Amino acid sequence: MTQPQDMQELIRQAAEVQAALQQAQMELLQTEVTGTAGGELVTITMTGGAEITDIKIKPEAVDADDIESLQDLILAAYRDAHNQAGKLAEEKIAPLTGGAMGGGAPQGGAPQAGPGEIPFGGII
């Protein structure tokens, strides 16, 4: 009866994948990415888990008569950083999940992240 040994091997492999996923998630949370806008007039730094850790705004980006442009720059820098976090997550997690992270064409009908959504499916 080789069935029990096969099942034990499958369980062992699943445990290894789970441990590797947990390690990758911890690495993501500890890694920082940076997004910029307006030729680096606005820079946002966040963790791979999408927690903002720093915002820098150069003085020349501030115009009291044009607050809307500054708001647009902040939003664009946030989106850039958030996209970088998503790419980082895909690089770390997709190899462990057989590429089922939603990068490129969706696999298994998984939806792509839309504006304001976590691009890596909230894995963290």
pLDDT digits (tens, 9 = 90+) for 57-67: 999 999 999 99
Per this entry, what is the length of the chain? 124
In a domain, residue 122? The reply is no
Residue 123 carries which side chain, given as an amino acid letter? I
Treating both helix axes as pointing N-terminal to C-terminal, what angle do 3-30 and 67-93 enclose, rounded to 10 degrees? 150
User: By residue range, what is the domain housing residue 62?
Assistant: 35-93
In a domain, residue 99? The reply is no
Number of domains the chain is built from: 1
In a domain, residue 124? The reply is no
Task: Report the relative pairing of strands 52-57 and 42-47 from DSSP bridges.
Answer: antiparallel
In a domain, residue 13? The reply is no
In a domain, residue 89? The reply is yes
SS3 16: helix
Residue 20: the pLDDT is 87
**Whole-structure pTM over 0.75, yes or no?**
no
In a domain, residue 68? The reply is yes
In a domain, residue 48? The reply is yes
Through-space distance between the first and last CA atoms of the chain, rounded to whole angstroms: 40
33, β-bridge pairs: 46
CATH number of the domain bearing residue 76: 3.30.1310.10
> What's the rounded Cα separation, in Å, for the pair 54 and 32?
10
Give the pLDDT band of residue 104 (cuts 50, 70, 90): very low
Residue 83: the pLDDT is 94
The per-residue pLDDT for range 21-35, each reduced to its tens digit, is 888 888 888 899 999
Q: What is the DSSP string of 91-117?
A: HHHGGGTTTTT--SSPSTTPPPP-TTS
